[in-house]
Structure formats: C-alpha cells, structure tokens
Amino acid sequence: MNQAVAATEISQVSSRARWRYAKDRAATVGVTAGGIGVIVAVVLIFFYLLWVVLPLFFPASMERIERYAAPGSQAPSLYYAMEEQAEVGLRVAADGEVAFFELADGRVRQSMQLPSPLRAVTEVEVGRGQLAALGEDGRVYRFGHRYQISYPEGAQRTILGRIEQPYGEAGIEMGDGDALAVRETEDRLMLAVAQPAGVRLRSFARVSSFLTEGVELEQEADLMLPQAGAADHLLIDPLLNWLYVVDAERASLQVYDVRQPARASLLETVTLSEGAARITDVGLMPGGISLLVADSQGRLRQWFPLRDANGVHRLRSIRDFRSPGGEAAQALIFEHARRGFVTLSGEGHIGLFHATAGQKVLDESVPGSDFQRGAFSPRANRLLLESTAGELHLYEVHNEHPEISFSSLWGKVWYESYQEPEFIWQSSAANSDFEPKFSLTPLAFGTLKAAFYAMLFAVPLALAGAIFTAYFMAPKLRQAVKPTVEVMEALPTVILGFLAGLWLAPFIETFLPGIFLMVVFLILAMPLTGWLWTKAPAPLRHRVPDGYQPVLLVLPLIIAGGLALLLSRPVEAAFFGGNMPQWLANEMDIPYDQRNSLVVGLAMGFAVIPTIFSIAEDAVFGVPKHLSQGSLALGATPWQTLVRVVLPTASPGIFSALMIGLGRAVGETMIVLMATGNTPIMDFNIFEGFRTLSANIAVEMPESEVGSTHFRILFLAGLVLFLFTFVFNTLAEIVRQRLRSKYSSL
C-alpha cells in the first residue's frame, strides 16, 4: 500500500516537473521570439527610412533621347520653350516665325508669322509662357503660348498649341534697338529697349475695359535713360522695382530705380567681374530676385539686392561657381520653378547647378556639339539644346533633389533677400517663386532645447523623490506614493499638451514674477520647515513616526506657492512697470512668446518625471539590505551610507532612468506641438518657442507630396531621430555595464 502511494506521489511530482519544464520552455521560446521580433522590426524600420531617404543623395544624370534638325524656317533661332508634358516644343525664329513642333521628331504641327522680322525675344514671366519680341520695325510684340489637351473620340492624347496676343497684333512702338526687357504685373506693363542714345523706358497702366472685357494700356511714362557705355543686356525684376543695364565688354551693371517710372534714376553702378573678363551672359533666376552673371573666365556669380546701413538697396555678390572645365559659359538656361540652371560652354560642355545648395550637380560633355541656346521643360525633366550647326538635342534629365547638400541641410545658407547666411526651415509659401529652405539644424536645436529644459525640471525632482522614497520613506507611505507617481505616466500627452497650451501658458504669462518667486520660496520653505521642526517640542516630534516627515512639508509648500502668486502683481507693478513680459522685451531685449520653452519644460518635465522616478526608485530600493545595514553597523550615518554605498550600487539603474527619460523627452511630439509656437528658430531664450524634429514631422507630413524633396527630408528627420536614439541608447548601455562591473563587488 505504502509503495503504491509512494509511486503515485512520484508520478505526480514527475508530471508537475514535466509541466513546469514545458511552461519554462514555452516562456523561453516566447520571450526569445518576442525579442527577435523587436530587433527585426527595428531593423526593418531603419531600412525603410533609409530606402525613402537615399534618393535625396542620388547623383543627377542626363541621357540624349532625340536628335534632329531645327524645325521650321532656316532663319536663326531666338527662343525655345516646351509645354509641361514635354511633347510639344515652341521655336521663335529671327524671321518672325513662331512654330509648334513635335519634340519626338521635330515635325512642325502649326506655325504663325509675326508682322516683322525679330531682333530679340524675352520672357515677360519666367516659365509662364508670356513672351515679348522686338521687331526690326521698332515695335514690341507681346504674345503668349498656351496649350490645350484633348482626347478626340477616345483617341490618344492630343496637345494643341495656340498663340495669344493680349494687346493685339499691332505691337507697341519702341524704336530701333538691340536689347529688350519687358515685365508685366496685374496693373502695369513696363518695356525697355537699348538704343544708341540710351535706354528707352515706357510704362503703361493696365486698365480693364468693361465694354470689351479686355485690357487697355494707358501710358504713364516715356523717357530716355542716358548710358555711359553699351547696353548689351536689359533686365527688369518682376515687381517693377529695378532695371538692370549690363555692359558686357566693361563688365559693369547699372541699376535704375524704376518704382516711379516717370522719375527713374540711377541707383548704383556695379562691377560684375574683375580683371579683363567680359560678361558672356546674364539672367534673372526664377522669382526674379537673384541675378546670375557668367563671364569670359568661366566664373558664375549670383547677385541680389540687400539693404545697406541707410536702408538703400544695393546689389551684393552672394556665391560663386565655376563652369565645367573653367571655360566661359556662352549661355545660361534656367529651370522654371527651382533655383537650378544649366551652363553651355565650348566643346559641348553642359554644367547643371543649383544655387541654393551652392553646388554643381552634373558635368556632362558632348564632343563635337557646340550648344548655344535651349530650354527646360516646366517639370525640369527634359532639356532641349540647339547647337551652332542648327541641330536640336533632346535630353532626359534625372535630377529630382538638386537642392539637397550637406551644407544646405546642416550649414548656414544665404537665402534670397536675407541680410546674411542663416539656419532656416521654411518648406512652403503662398508664392510659387518661393525658395525652399530645408535646414535641419534649427529643428535639431529645438529638439535638444526641449529635452534640456524638460530634464532640467524633471531630473532633480524625480531623482530626489526616488531616492527619498526608496531609502528614507516609511514602507506604508511608500506604498501610497510610488503608485500615485506612476499613475501620472498614464496621462495622455495630448491632454498634457492641451492643458499646457490653453491653461498653463496664459497662467505663466499672467503670474510670471510669481513663478520665479515660487521657485525661491519653495527652495527656502523646505529647509526652513525642517529647522522649525527641529525646534518643536520633543513629545510632538516623537509622535510623528520616522519616514512620515514629508507629510509635514505639504502645507508649508502650499503656503509658499500661494504667497508667491499673491505677491506676483505687486512685484510686477513695483519693478516691471506692471507688465513683466513687455518689460523683458523693451528693457532687456528678450522677446517673450506666450507658448515658450518654460511652458514646454514644465509640461514635458511633468510627463518625464514618472519614468525617471519609477526606474530610479526601483534601482535604489533594489540595493541589497545587507549592504546598507552593514554600513550602518560599522558606524556610518544614513547619509554616508546613501552616498558611499547605496547610490554607487544603484548607479546603473539610475543612469538607465536618466537615459530613458531623455529618450522620451527627445521623442515627445504632442506636448511640443500644442505648447509651443512651433517656430523653427535657434535661440536658447527660455521665453521663446522652438520646433522639434518630431513635431515638424507631425505638422508637415500630411501636407507633403509623396516622393517630393519635402517628403523625403521629413523621413530624413525621422532617421536622424532614430540614429540619435540608437547612439544614445548604445552609449548608455556601455556606461551602464561599466558601472555595473565597477560596483558589482560591493
């Protein structure tokens, strides 16, 4: 009987052991699979980000796809253009023929004849299909080319071009000349023609006619601007502020102020190139602000007007380039929307540049072809070039992200109309001529600024609270305090951001002196309360058990905080003129924004405190009791034991708490998004806002075009955050392991 019972018990024990072993194995497999899954997921995220970002850094390329004789008349070409789909081209010849032709084979589709042979053709609006031509009869013919897409009876897409002449076929009389400049706004038309006696300038007001529903011209000014030298190139900016007159041989430029055409005056004379160099070509870049000048020594210079100390606009050289092979660029071709341009040099050299990035993105050579003019398609994916032999070469251009370079992403860039190089993030604007500004530096700075102020607020409170709770606090009080602090972590950050933006920010602005007084009063209230407690009668002090002393601080701290807020208004009236934010701006030159770094530091610090507190408290509380008890038994005081034994032993865990808290502060999105002005500026002023990488992604990703430069740079910002977190976590783990090895012998 006993043997049967024993056998049954052994069988049951063996069954439980097998079941326990099976559960252990299942747990091991599950944990291992979960860990591997996390690693795989992180690796896949990294490679996906890399896959989206890498095209930003692909080199540009171009490939010739067609080659044929110039279509239409045998007269020399003056101008080329392409429609958006790069299927139909436009050629304006010197005999006045305007021809639409197939870009695939050069076949002429349709053509028209202007009333006179032509001497010059210029764009009225860059990339908008608006042109003006100077005829040998001394008249300027204003016309535009438009394209209509149709699908006749379900057939293949058909693109038809047409010519529009908004002021009729007669043209505008300007007299004999060689160089021409024409610009037009909604309410004004301005023309300039270089003549032997000087530059003739005519300005007209554009008046809408209610009878004909068209536009009529009313002359405002007609005057002759005397010239000291030749006028080989004329340019007018799109806002009709400046007239640029270029003397190619003398490499000089005269700038006229034509904001009031009847009183146009010479503003300044600028030397465009040093030495004996002459100007080979000059043009206004898209947007009409920057002037690009090419000289006979292969130099390319970008100029634009800046205000001097007296508030007067003066042209200033901003950046230089070198044409391919150092040869003179005989012609400049500009993209329609971006700040990209092509130089055509001798022996078929083609250079592709981007002004904002300050770099040459492509250097191509076509031996035996001496190109003299050409045109970009509106999408900048096709380039049409004409050689001196009268042949057209059509190239397919792959240049998706020319504005990206290391300097444009992380360095200071001198943007158009800015007084000096700056770090700027501004990805869009209402104006299509806008120059994108993709500097990640202010976003990275804002990320570190947010983390700094959050950690500055959270670390002292969280660590001090964790150490006291784990080492000094009574067990029953600890059981209430620790879960309460950890519950704070469950608060959604969107709620914290909402409260910070709509309640805390106005509250701080209203009681700003009281906030600073509160810091002082709270710091003084704690030691003062402790000193007063030591002076209390012994029977009263002995009635409070050890570890419950923090409860005594609650009421004094509340009183100190309330007193600081009560004194806020009197102090503000006495010392800051009744308005401290305004006083800071006027007297100290410290701008104050309602949603600023102080608000974010408090709100984000509140969100980070539970994380640091919980991990650090567990680390301190987990120090083996025999270590602290042994130290106390050897005569050390509790504070000596804490500093010499407990904190070194818990230092790996405390360091992990700090790193995890820092990681959360760096990656926080909603609080930053709702509690700051989201202004990407670089200023350590605690009273100004900022924009972080994560908040920028959240704000701009929904409105970015998939595959665009903006879209990929936002992914690059995500990759920067990913690498930042990875590097810091790796370094933190290395430090933690060294701390563990150092203090493991205690």
181-197 mean pLDDT: 91
| Segments of the chain assigned to CATH 1.10.3720.10 | 441-515+593-743
443-459 mean pLDDT: 93
3-class DSSP assignment, residue 451: helix
How would CATH label the architecture of 287-423?
A: 7 Propeller (2.130)
Supply the pLDDT for residue 453.
Answer: 93
Is there a contact between 718 and 447 (Cβ–Cβ < 8 Å)? no
pTM of the model as a whole: 0.88
Mean pLDDT computed over every residue of the chain: 88
397-400: long-range contacts, CB 8 A cutoff, minimum separation 24 = 397/60, 397/61, 397/62, 397/352, 398/60, 398/61, 398/62, 398/63, 399/60, 399/61, 399/62, 399/340, 399/352, 399/361, 399/362, 400/55, 400/58, 400/709
- Where residue 464 falls among pLDDT bands split at 50, 70, 90? very high
Residue 81, H or E segment: strand 77-82
| Segments of the chain assigned to CATH 2.40.10 | 79-165
Supply the pLDDT for residue 3.
Answer: 66
Classify 441-515+593-743 by CATH class.
Answer: mainly alpha
3-class DSSP assignment, residue 632: helix
Supply the pLDDT for residue 154.
Answer: 64
Supply the pLDDT for residue 550.
Answer: 82
| Segments of the chain assigned to CATH 2.130.10.10 | 287-423
Pick the CATH number of 79-165 from 2.40.10, 2.40.128, 2.40.50, 1.20.140: 2.40.10
**What φ, ψ does residue 411 adopt, rounded to 5°?**
-105, 175
Going by their DSSP bridges, the two strands 291-295 and 299-307 should be labelled as antiparallel
Each residue's pLDDT tens digit, 540-581: 888 888 878 888 888 999 999 999 999 999 999 999 988 999
Q: At what angle do helices 2-53 and 709-743 cross, to 10 degrees?
A: 140
29-55 mean pLDDT: 92
Each residue's pLDDT tens digit, 159-177: 888 898 888 888 899 988 8
Q: Which two tokens stand for residue 4?
A: 């049967």
Each residue's pLDDT tens digit, 302-327: 999 999 888 888 999 999 999 887 88
